[in-house]
Amino acid sequence: DAKTTQPTSMDCAEGRAANLPCNHSTISGNEYVYWYRQIHSQGPQYIIHGLKNNETNEMASLIITEDRKSSTLILPHATLRDTAVYYCIVRKPNFGNEKLTFGTGTRLTIIP
């Protein structure tokens, strides 16, 4: 699976949009981009995933560049409860190789 690069930490004001970047320049054609977050002392929570089209759900939007070498997770109206470590993971949809490799992620702090 391709390697991802994320900023170590970010701050965002409460109520503003939080934009979390992820670089995955070595992504291959059939690899999906997944985003998870981990709030302190809890298990990771699935947020969203996509292949090449932009995706939106009740939690966030995922914007993937046309060349698929980078993506941005957007939390449209950040709240204090969005403070967490956010992980961007690239993985092939392979039934025989489903393990997720977590990097260090981005520690997002929402400031009141």
Partner 1 sequence: GAVVSQHPSWVICKSGTSVKIECRSLDFQATTMFWYRQFPKQSLMLMATSNEGSKATYEQGVEKDKFLINHASLTLSTLTVTSAHPEDSSFYICSAREEGHPGGGNQPQHFGDGTRLSIL
SS3 110: strand
Shortest gap between Cβ of 50 and partner 1 (angstroms)?
9
SS3 1: coil
Contact present, 31 and 2 (Cβ < 8 Å): yes
Shortest gap between Cβ of 4 and partner 1 (angstroms)?
12
Nearer to partner 1, 26 or 104 (CB): 104
Nearer to partner 1, 8 or 112 (CB): 8
To 5 degrees, how large is the angle CA 42–CA 107–CA 109? 95
Among 8, 29, 67, 99, binds partner 1 (CB under 8 A): 99
Distance CA 110, CA 103 (A): 21
Residue ranges in contact with partner 1 by CB under 8 A: 32, 34, 36, 38, 41-46, 49, 51, 87, 93-95, 98-105
